[in-house]
Amino acid sequence: MHMDKHQDVIAACRFCFMCRHLDPVGNVTFQESDTPRGRALILDTIRMKNESLRNRDFIATIYRSALSGANRYHCVSHYDEVGLVLAARKDIVEAGLAPENVKALTETLSRATFTVKGKGTTLYYGDHLELYPGCKIVSGGDPGKALEVLGFGDDSQKVFDRFRSAVVASKCTTLIVAEPSAYDFLKDKFDGIEVVHCSEHLLSGKWKAKPARKAFYLESDFLKNYDGNPAAPRELLARYGYTLTLFGTNNEESYSVGEGAVVFDELNPGLCEKLCRRVYDLAGNLKTALFITPSRYVKATLTKYNPQIRVMTLEEAVAQRKEQ
């Protein structure tokens, strides 16, 4: 089983309570099973009794995880509980036990194809080509990250191969990626092609000082907890006049409403709405507060459950100020 490679994590997390306060799902369902300890206990039970893998409640719990990196980041020993859950999802899929909604989603995701348009030596993967003059754009669906987190490794690889073919055919040697989940997925996947986050690229451009504007910066789970917490997004926003305020009560929790699970809202809409509500509740006055997130997933999800909230993606925040 794939889980077997993560025995150390099972052994560490199954009786440990030390990061439960950061589990986004546990913080809204309050269920013991929705914490790293709860999931490790389930997977330990499966380790001891393989037939427990068939337990529908266990499977549902494993697919309910928001795969947040906040817990691993907090853990002094950085045990990779998310890695364990991803391995368990692979085991579930390979045993033919994936839930129906997961299978249906997989079919859609597997159909992704990619096209390249425009002229330039640099390739951009995102929604705001106007910010990247002289760049080509590659578009299509998710490049394989979503399938990977759902436990469909082979399908993920197939989609990625199509993405790679498109990138290689573009003859570009730099790929700028906007969505943090895609950036996290792609940054180590290519040989001979440099993958950069859009904020790094935009930071190298020219800018004009802008009047100050206050905003809450909603950290990306991927950028903060998986990708070394680059300073570029915050520096970029500061350059464009945004004064960023800490959101919520602390800087450890992930308020990225399931971003780590990439298709969390598609899979668990009721739960995702609860994650959003936690953000709305902490925000105070939604009508006056401005949120900036590096992730269009986060923006789309937060606005879906309460259209009153004012959220911009990082690129939109920059684009808006460039126009002023």
> Which residues of this protein are in contact with another protein, per CB under 8 A?
11-22, 30-33, 35, 37-38, 41-42, 44-45, 48-49, 55, 57-58, 60-61, 75-77, 79, 249-250
User: Which strands make up the sheet holding 242-245, listed edge to edge?
Assistant: 242-245, 213-217, 290-293, 310-313
Q: Is 16 in the site for ligand SF4 (CB under 6 A)?
A: yes
Given ligand SF4, another protein, none, residue 289, with its beta carbon under 5 to 8 Å by kind, binds none
User: C-alpha distances in angstroms, 205 versus 132, 208, 217, 255?
Assistant: 10, 10, 22, 29
Q: Is 86 in the site for ligand SF4 (CB under 6 A)?
A: no
Given ligand SF4, another protein, none, residue 138, with its beta carbon under 5 to 8 Å by kind, binds none
The type of residue at 291 is F
Q: Which residues, including other chains, have CB under 8 Å from residue 108's CB and lie 6 or more apart?
A: none
When computed from its CA atoms, the radius of gyration of the chain, rounded to whole angstroms, is 20
Least separation in angstroms between CB 7 and ligand SF4: 13
Distance between CA atoms of residues 143 and 155, nearest Å: 11
Q: Is 11 in the site for ligand SF4 (CB under 6 A)?
A: no
- Interface pattern 41-70 for ligand SF4 (x via CB under 6 A): ------------------------------
Q: How many residues does the chain have?
A: 324
Q: Is 81 in the site for ligand SF4 (CB under 6 A)?
A: yes
Burial of 64 (0-12, 13-18, 19+ CB in 10 A): buried
Q: Tell me which residue has tokens 């040697």.
A: 173
Name which position in 27, 33, 71, 301 contacts ligand SF4 (CB under 6 A): 71
Distance between CA atoms of residues 51 and 43, nearest Å: 11
Given ligand SF4, another protein, none, residue 71, with its beta carbon under 5 to 8 Å by kind, binds ligand SF4
Name which position in 28, 41, 75, 166 contacts ligand SF4 (CB under 6 A): 75
- Which segments within 199-314 are labelled E, that is strand? 213-217, 242-245, 290-293, 310-313
Nearest residue to ligand SF4 by CB is: 75
Residues that bind ligand SF4 (CB under 6 A): 12-13, 16, 18-19, 36-37, 71-72, 75, 77, 79, 81
